[in-house]
Homo-oligomer: A and B are copies of this chain.
Amino acid sequence: MILNKVNSPQNLKNLNIEELNTLSDEIRDLIIKKVDYTGGHMAPNLGIIEATIALHYVFDSPKDKFIFDVSHQCYTHKILTGRKEGFLNKEDYLKYTGYTAPEESEHDLFKVGHTSTSISLACGIAKARDLKNENYNVIALIGDGSLSGGEALEGLNFAAKLNSNFIIILNDNQMSIAQNYGGLYDNLKLLRETQGEAENNLFKALGYDYYFIKDGNNIEDTIKTFEKIKNINHPIVVHLCTEKGHGLIQATENKEKFHWIMPNTLNGEEIIQTNEDYTSITVDYLLKKAKQNSTLAVINAATPGVFGFNSKVREELANQYIDVAIAEEHATAMASAMAKNGAKPVFCVMSSFIQRAYDQLSQDLCLNSNPATILVYWGAITSADATHLTTFDISLMSNIPNLVYLAPTNKEEYLRMLDWSIEQKKYSVAIRVPCFELKSTGIEDKTDYSILNKYKVTKEGEKIAILGLGNFYYLALELEKYLKENLNINATLINPRFITGVDTELMEKLKENHEIVVTLEDGELNGGFGEKIARYFGSSNMKVLNYGSFKEFSDREPIDELYKKYRLTKELITEDIKKILQS
List the interface of chain A (C-beta within 8 A of B): 65, 67, 102, 109-114, 117, 120-125, 127-132, 148-151, 153-161, 181-184, 186-187, 199-202, 204-208, 294-295, 297, 319-320, 322, 324-325, 327, 329-330, 333-343, 345, 355-356, 358-360, 362-364, 366-368, 386-387, 392, 395-396, 398-402, 524-528, 530-532, 534-535, 537-540, 543-546, 551-553, 576, 579-580
Contacts and interface: CB of A to CB of B under 8 A. Distances in A.
Contacts of A367: 111, 386-387, 553
Contacts of A330: 120, 123, 151, 154-155, 157-158
A329 B120 contact: yes
A319 to B, nearest CB: 7
A359 to B, nearest CB: 4
Contacts of A358: 355-356, 358-359, 396
Contacts of A392: 362, 399-400
A122 B150 CA distance: 17
Contacts of A125: 337-338, 340-341
A154 B158 contact: no
B128 A338 contact: yes
Given A125-B340, A333-B121, A131 B294 contact: yes
A221 B329 CA distance: 35
Which of A367, A531, A538: most chain B CB closer than 10 A? Answer: A538
A201 B206 CA distance: 9
A343 B546 contact: no
Given A161-B181, A186-B207, 6 more contacts: A125-B340, A128-B341, A148-B157, A150-B153, A367-B553, A531-B532
Contacts of A201: 200, 205
B537 A526 contact: no
A207 B187 contact: yes
Contacts of A297: 127, 131
A580 B538 CA distance: 11
B338 A127 contact: yes
A202 B199 contact: no
B181 A206 contact: no
The 5 closest A-B pairs by CB, nearest first: A150-B150, A124-B337, A160-B183, A183-B206, A153-B153
Nearest to A340: B109
6 contacts: A128-B343, A132-B342, A149-B154, A158-B183, A183-B208, A362-B392
B343 A120 contact: no
Contact of A149 (B150, B341, B364): B150
A124 to B, nearest CB: 3
A183 B154 contact: no
Contacts of A110: 336-337, 340, 364, 368
B531 A124 contact: no
